[in-house]
Amino acid sequence: MIQRQEKTATILLISFLILKIVLSYALVNDMYELHRDEFLHLDQANHLAGGYASVPPLTSIVSLIIKFLGNTEFWVRFFPALFGAGAILFCWRIVELLEGNLFAKCLVAITCLCSAYLRLNTLYQPNSFDVLSWAAVFYFLLRYFKTGKPGTLYWMAVWAGLGFLNKYNILFLFLGLLPALIITSKRKIFADRHFYFALLLAVVIILPNLIWQISHHFPVFRHMKELRETQLVHVNRLDFFVEQLLFFICGIFVLLAGITGLIFNKQFRQHQWVLFTYIATILIFSYFNAKGYYALGLYPPLLAFGSTYLAQVLQRPLFRALLLIFITGTFTYLLPLVMPLYTPVQIIAHHNKFRKAGLLKWNDGKDHELPQDYADMLGWKELATIVDSAYRIVPDKEHLLILCDNYGQAGAINYYSAFGNIHASSFNADYMHWMDLEKPIRTKIRIREYYPRDAAAKDSLDFGSMQKIGMVQNPWCLEYGTTVYLLKDPKIDVNAELKSYIKED
């Protein structure tokens, strides 16, 4: 009987993990392309380093694997889906640690599927692995406190190190974790010598990136300053807390049960450090005006506790069935708001529904016609096609520079271009450090955003001829109006000017 139950549990777990990956493909409308951030991460595979201006180096290693596999959109979407499946696996294992039954395990898997995690795991960004690493850290800490086995501390250190190499966001988890352990009986961990050996292991794992940051004068601080001034300044603290509920609105009863269980359930009181960690980290994020999704890594243990608690409270099959129907039913209804299923025309037709859900607000704090993520997934192939048409008519490609206004343009051209040897650059993000200025530049393909019209006029003064090749016509994309120019016969030393600009910046 026990073996049959274990076999059933294994089959169900594998089914949920496969379903997680399949949904990441099935619930994305074919008209959408890759996201602007994804292009930057994919290009990092061509410039491996101990760190980057925007992110730590782990994503570049995954990008190298994707490149080896063919660099197709299938593999780009596969890895965030795989990381999302890994997070469900750790939630399942946490329920096992709590001695939850099969219903509790299935409930936490379904709750994860019917949440903001589904959308998060369709984008090739560090966020998916971020949630996975947080879930792993919670799991191995819970396992350590239950078994006392020192090996779990080393596994926690490995995941913490990998989480750091993926995204510095995990530092906020440990800022919240430290006081939570100190004020509870779990502070005994600080008396275990293996804790410090594990800490040393984590330092060794992150050391390459620390050395890179030191040698490059900590560009992460510049990136954070820029992020704070351009994006976080528009974040409303009230919206941050509202988003925490909206992320799991379909599984809200599971989330609330996790918090309630940690407060009132005697069986869970020994784990209250999880709740204190959640509260402390949420407050830290709120203080720094963080974006709502920064905190998504906090929820795997809460959902696991909530599922286990509800499995104990809801003994009648009818109540359990009603809970599952509520979660899956509400998520199915909200699915067009969560996933990019609708075309732009359909989204505009349901404008009020998207606006009320807060999905039309962009980083500038204003509402627009489409969610920003969706606008960032359109127009890239069109742009690459226009640039290709300019690239074809340049006879001397060895002394050509393709210069863009932002990293999305540069990355999209490099990814979607029909020419495998094309190398678009930008002064934005990491592309500034990848620009090859050793050979004299005699021709320039300049990609200009729609708004800085005076900048294009300056280009015409620096070159003997300027030809407008084309303009992005897709009205729904964020790059609408972006124009491609072909400039020949420079009147200035282009290399010297670019080097001066880079040095100054």
| Residue 436 burial class via C-beta count within 10 angstroms: exposed 0-12, middle 13-18, buried 19 and up | exposed
Task: Identify which of 345, 430, 385 has the alpha carbon closest to the alpha carbon of residue 45.
Answer: 430
End-to-end CA distance of the chain: 68
Q: Do 183 and 279 meet the contact criterion of CB atoms below 8 Å apart?
A: no
Distances (CA, A) of 100 to 188, 271, 304, 342: 26, 15, 9, 38
pLDDT, mean of residues 14-40:
96
- Give the per-residue pLDDT at 38: 96
Is the torsion defined by CA of 422, 426, 431, 437 positive or negative? positive
Alpha helices in 27-125 (DSSP H): 36-43, 58-69, 73-97, 102-113, 116-120
pLDDT(292) > 80: yes
Residue with the larger pLDDT of the pair 128 and 396: 128
Count of CB atoms situated within 10 Å of the CB of 148: 10
Calculate the average pLDDT of the chain. 92
Phi, psi angle pair for 466, to nearest 5° = -135, 125
Q: Assign residue 159 a region: left if phi > 0, alpha if psi is -120 to 50, beta otherwise? A: alpha
Please, what is the angle between helix 380-392 and helix 407-416, to 10°? 70
H helices then E strands: how many in the chain? 23, 5
Quick check: 457 pLDDT over 90? Answer: no
d(CA 56, CA 224): 13
**Tens digit of pLDDT for each residue in 353-411?**
898 888 888 877 788 999 999 999 999 999 999 999 999 999 989 999 999 999 999 99
Report the SS3 class of residue 484. strand
User: Taking Cα atoms as reference points, which of 381, 356, 376 lies closest to residue 367?
Assistant: 356
- What does the pLDDT look like over 184-232, one tens digit per residue? 999 999 999 999 999 999 999 999 999 999 988 887 777 677 666 566 5
pLDDT category at 85 given cuts 50, 70, 90 is: very high
pLDDT at 24: 95
Q: Which residue has the higher pLDDT, 496 or 484?
A: 484
483-490: strand order across its sheet: 424-426, 400-404, 443-448, 483-490, 463-471
Q: What is the pLDDT of residue 114?
A: 97
pLDDT attached to residue 234: 58
- Give the phi and the psi of residue 106 in degrees, each rounded to 5: -65, -35
User: What angle separates helix 73-97 from helix 126-147, to the nearest 10 degrees?
Assistant: 20
Mean pLDDT, range 342-352, rounded to an integer: 92
Is the pLDDT score of 54 beyond 60? yes
- Report the C-alpha gap between 363 and 26 in whole angstroms: 28
Q: For 47, phi and psi rounded to 5 degrees?
A: -145, 60
Handedness of CA 334, 337, 341, 346 (dihedral sign): positive
Strands 424-426 and 443-448, by their bridges, are: unpaired
Nearest to 409 by CA among 482, 326, 492: 482
Question: Which residue type, as a one-letter code, is found at position 74?
Answer: F
Helix axes 126-147, 151-166, angle to 10 degrees: 160
Q: Rounded to the nearest 5 degrees, what angle is found at the Cα of 443, between the Cα atoms of 442 and 446?
A: 140
CA distance 487 to 5: 70
Neighbours of 93 (CB within 10 A): 19
Burial per residue of 448-457, b for 16 or more beta-carbon CB atoms within 10 angstroms, e otherwise: bbeeeeeebe
Give the per-residue pLDDT at 415. 96
Q: What is the pLDDT of residues 134-150, one digit of tens each?
A: 999 999 999 999 999 99
pTM, to two decimals: 0.93
| Separation of alpha carbons 374 and 243, rounded Å | 19
Please give the pLDDT value at position 233: 57
Within a 13 Å sphere around the CA of 504, how many CA atoms are in the beta-carbon half? 6
Q: What tokens appear for 239 in the block?
A: 């919206």
Q: What percent of the chain has pLDDT above 70?
A: 96
Exposed/middle/buried for residue 21 (C-beta within 10 Å: 0-12, 13-18, 19+): middle
Collapsed DSSP state (helix, strand, coil) of residue 473: coil
